Structure 1
Amino acid sequence: MKSVKHILARKGSNVIAVPAETTVLNVLKLMAEKNVGSVVVTQDGKYIGLMTERDYSRKIILMGKHSDETTAGEIISTNFPMITPQSSVDECMLIMSENNIRYLPVFDIANQLCGIVSMSDVVYETIHSQRETIEQLHSYIQST
């Protein structure tokens, strides 16, 4: 069974991070530039949460706030379920589905952030794993 460490090995564990005092507008520009839907928000260099496109739409646009006056730290999402590199891809998919979230921060044994897993990462890994299984079954059938 594939685990989060397989996803991180494929995509890398680098995350895009911004200080909590960064304006939402600047975070959105960075997200567009990097073509990502979430960024890590830090305070004193430590992870405090994620800012996602969903946070922007629900906590800025719908609340009538201004993205050039509001900071990322004011609208971040926190309290994500805890996953580690050893967590299974199936477990991530279940957590994301049950909690209606698209991103999960990954923490190591020392409780340090070591990557972000998106729903797209989980779907890609599942499809890749199924393809491997199909290829193995084809090889087995052809060898008998």
Structure 2
Amino acid sequence: MKISEVMTREVQTIQPDQPVQEAASFMLTADAGSIPVTDGERLVGMITDRDIAVRGIAKGHGPDTPVRELMTNDIICARIDQDIEEVATKMSQAQVRRLPVIDEQDRLCGIVSLGDLARETSDDSAQQALEGVVQPGGEHRQ
């Protein structure tokens, strides 16, 4: 099964020049911990609640700070044509709960979460991804 069959296609995004307060507001409303950052349709980063609360505050940034200053540029993505098992392995290795899904031109097509894998698959994909996420340690990535 391909990741395109289980991903969420309607994804809220934010632009790099928008203030982090708008990103935080979206996360609060959507009860989400991250939001993809796009330039047009092209994915350029991710910003997380941790980026704002820890990195932003630690460096003295305020709510009007542009998203680009706190977002993660080195993002881990799934490709729209990848198999679910391959994406689950990637999520486990990266220790993340969700991955943006992009096409061959790096355009954002959707997002896949552990919940999507658990809800839409009958195999062990979600369990495989979860095992890596709950492992202690590692550098925060997204």
* TM-score for the superposition, normalised by structure 2: 0.72
Task: Give the Cα–Cα distance (whole angstroms) in 2 for the partners of residues 119 and 73 of structure 1.
Answer: 26
Q: Deviations over 1:67-94 (max 9, x none)?
A: 4132211111123234222212222221
Find the partner of 1:97 among 85, 88, 92. Answer: 92
Task: Give the Cα–Cα distance (whole angstroms) in 2 for the partners of residues 121 and 107 of structure 1.
Answer: 16
Q: Within 5 Å, give how 1:1-144 maps onto structure 2.
A: 2-8=1-7, 11=8, 13-43=9-39, 46-61=42-57, 63-126=58-121, 129-130=122-123
Instruction: Report % sequence identity.
Output: 27
- Residue equivalent to 2:134: none
Amino acid at match of 1:86: D
Gaps of 5+ in 1: 131-144
Contact 1:23 1:67 in 2 (8 A): no
Contact 1:108 1:114 in 2 (8 A): yes
Task: Give the Cα–Cα distance (whole angstroms) in 1 for the partners of residues 86 and 69 of structure 2.
Answer: 30
With over 3 angstroms needed to count, the CA separation of the structure-2 counterparts of 1:111 and 1:94, relative to structure 1, is same
Amino acid at match of 2:12: I
Contact 2:41 2:107 in 1 (8 A): no
Q: Deviations over 1:30-63 (max 9, x none)?
A: 12112322212123553211112232233123x1
SS at structure 1 position matched to 2:11: coil
Task: Give the Cα–Cα distance (whole angstroms) in 2 for the partners of residues 46 and 111 of structure 1.
Answer: 6
* TM-score for the superposition, normalised by structure 1: 0.71
Structure number with bigger Rg? 1
With over 3 angstroms needed to count, the CA separation of the structure-2 counterparts of 1:45 and 1:82, relative to structure 1, is closer
Task: Give the Cα–Cα distance (whole angstroms) in 1 for the partners of residues 103 and 40 of structure 2.
Answer: 19
Gaps of 5+ in 2: 124-142
The alignment yields a C-alpha RMSD, in angstroms, of 2.4
